[in-house]
Amino acid sequence: MENRKKVIITERIDQEGIKLLQKHLDVDISFNIPREELLAKIHEYDAIVVRSATKVNEELMSLGIKLKAVGRAGNGTDNIDINEATRRGIIVANTPDSNTMSAGELSIGLLLAQARNISQANVHIKSGQWERNKFKGVELYNKTLGIIGLGRIGSLVATRMKAFGMNVIAYDPYISDERFKRFKVEKKNTLKELIQESDFITVHTPKTKETTGMIGEKEIEFMKPGVRLVNAARGGIINEKALLKGLKSGKVASVGLDVHEEEPCFNNPLFELDNVIVTPHIGASTIEAQVNVGVTVAEQIINALNGEIVPNAVNLPAMHRDELAIMKPYIELLERLGKIYYQLHKDPIEFVNINYWGNIAAQDTKMSTIAFIKGLLEPVLEDKVNYINATLLAEQRGIGIEQRKMNENYNGYLDYIEIKIKTKDETFVLAGNLSSKREGRLVKIGGYEVDVNPSKYMLLIQNIDVPGVIGHIGMALGEENINVATMQVGRNVRGEKAMMVLNIDDEVSSKNLEKLMQVKNVLWAKGIKL
């Protein structure tokens, strides 16, 4: 029977998530387990699933000698020591996408409710009154929406509000220009610029020392008269005392708040104002969101334990599922290409340059670069390297890493990724792209142009480019019972050295390679496992 990996769930998640985990792993459901009991048994588990109460700190991780993954069913990770997990090569993944739609839609609801006085009109008519003139609102059409934080939820709101005909601008100093272009949002370089131009402002940024109170009295002074605000991100990003003052003065026409400086929140003077619409932190409170949280955290754990891509790993570059759909074939290709070098050469690497050309240069390529480094080190470090520690391990081995992006096409390729691996004495060049079917292709190796779909088992042969050599190699392969799926030959100058790249069905043995080396005009032959 297969020796299944084990996961412990210490806090409640949706049943669909538990069912998914049980299909792949041995699951210990231990909701609200006492700390002492958890510490005593954590050494048995490959993964742990928590919410916000369980402290996954150095104490727990030092005892969890098998731990490879921590799943947080929710967004925040304050209860998890991310640095310690990274140092130990433990993947920490949360579920930010799971409530993205719910939180984004609530933010839009608060925008609409303010613009059309929906909440106030509801209370008015239910109290037995009918004064339509009291509830004259404003249209969103042609107004400027300022988004603070163009991450997952901010970009979702941007996309939907552009459909309302709004002029969308955003401020986020930690987001690349490519992301602004992708969502067709005008970038503002300072918070002041955004505040001065916006009719509506919505906040979608984490709560940090930097963002706590980032909208205070000074910022409200810079705003347009009659501005309307939304905060469905974290309480305290908008200073509530300054907000109250702005509302009473009329500078701020209205506000919609799902989050509050203190929660649960009672007797807040903001609640006394009719132009304040409040909800009790219900951004993630949808049926779909809670199912998604459970299923997503289960998927993260299963992927992590299978050595696959974990898109929501917080100690890796974050990827929205739409971005992952675009980048996954490149990530898989780069990881495969990375495995080639140390199976061909033994010279220590000093530097790796990864150059992205064409359309791929507009994407966030951090994860694909990490995937290449992971693949590069796997032949020498095996299971000691993963997506989390690959870059750190490369640095420890003295390998410099640089990625560059060029928006122009490369020699007719719409997308092209070129990798230069530099040693003390030479530079080994690899290149790849995607086919029209979005399949990864190896298009250059060691300076030879080829066109090969990398497979699990490959055979590389360098030979003198003379007539008959291919036939002799084919005969030798047949004698060794090696079945060839495809073969590509690359050469630069007729009659000189050529490179033969073969996809084969099975791994070649040292005996097979010795037989190939005996073929006339063969310079070397090496098996590759990807």
Q: Are 235 and 215 in contact (CB under 8 A)?
A: no
Instruction: Using alpha carbons only, give the angle 48, 317, 329 rounded to the nearest 5 degrees.
Output: 100
Q: Are 513 and 476 in contact (CB under 8 A)?
A: no
- Spatial strand order of the sheet with 6-9 comes to 26-29, 6-9, 47-50, 69-72, 91-93
Nearest-CA neighbor of 466 among 436, 429, 500, 440?
A: 500
Amino acid identity, position 1: M
Coil/strand/helix, residue 503: strand
R_g over Cα of the chain: 28
Q: Which of 263, 308, 426, 479 is catalytic?
A: 263
Place of tokens 């005593």: 40
Q: Are 444 and 420 in contact (CB under 8 A)?
A: no
Q: Is 263 tagged catalytic? A: yes
Q: Is 397 tagged catalytic? A: no
Nearest-CA neighbor of 9 among 286, 75, 1, 25?
A: 25
**Strand ranges (E), 211-321:** 227-231, 252-257, 276-278
Longest dimension (CA), the chain: 99
Nearest-CA neighbor of 116 among 76, 143, 87?
A: 143
Query: Measured between alpha carbons, how far is 248 from 134 in angstroms, rounded to an integer?
Result: 18
Nearest-CA neighbor of 220 among 256, 244, 190?
A: 244
Q: Are 86 and 79 in contact (CB under 8 A)?
A: no
Amino acid identity, position 92: V
- Spatial strand order of the sheet with 276-278 comes to 186-187, 167-171, 144-148, 200-203, 227-231, 252-257, 276-278
Q: Is 132 tagged catalytic? A: no
Beta bridge partner(s), residue 440: 434
Query: Measured between alpha carbons, how far is 373 from 358 in angstroms, rounded to an integer?
Result: 22
Nearest-CA neighbor of 521 among 471, 464, 460, 467?
A: 464
Query: Measured between alpha carbons, how far is 86 from 191 in angstroms, rounded to an integer?
Result: 32
Backbone angle region of 521, left / alpha / beta, with phi > 0 → left and psi within -120 to 50 → alpha: left
Tell me how crowded residue 231 is: count the other CB atoms within 10 A of its CB. 26
**Strand ranges (E), 246-398:** 252-257, 276-278, 349-358
Query: Measured between alpha carbons, how far is 136 from 186 in angstroms, rounded to an integer?
Result: 30
Q: Which of 51, 152, 179, 234 is catalytic?
A: 234
Q: What stretch of H or E contains 473?
A: helix 469-479
Query: Measured between alpha carbons, how far is 26 from 508 in angstroms, rounded to an integer?
Result: 36
Q: Which of 160, 182, 281, 441 is catalytic?
A: 281
Beta bridge partner(s), residue 529: 457
Which residues are catalytically annotated?
Answer: 234, 263, 281
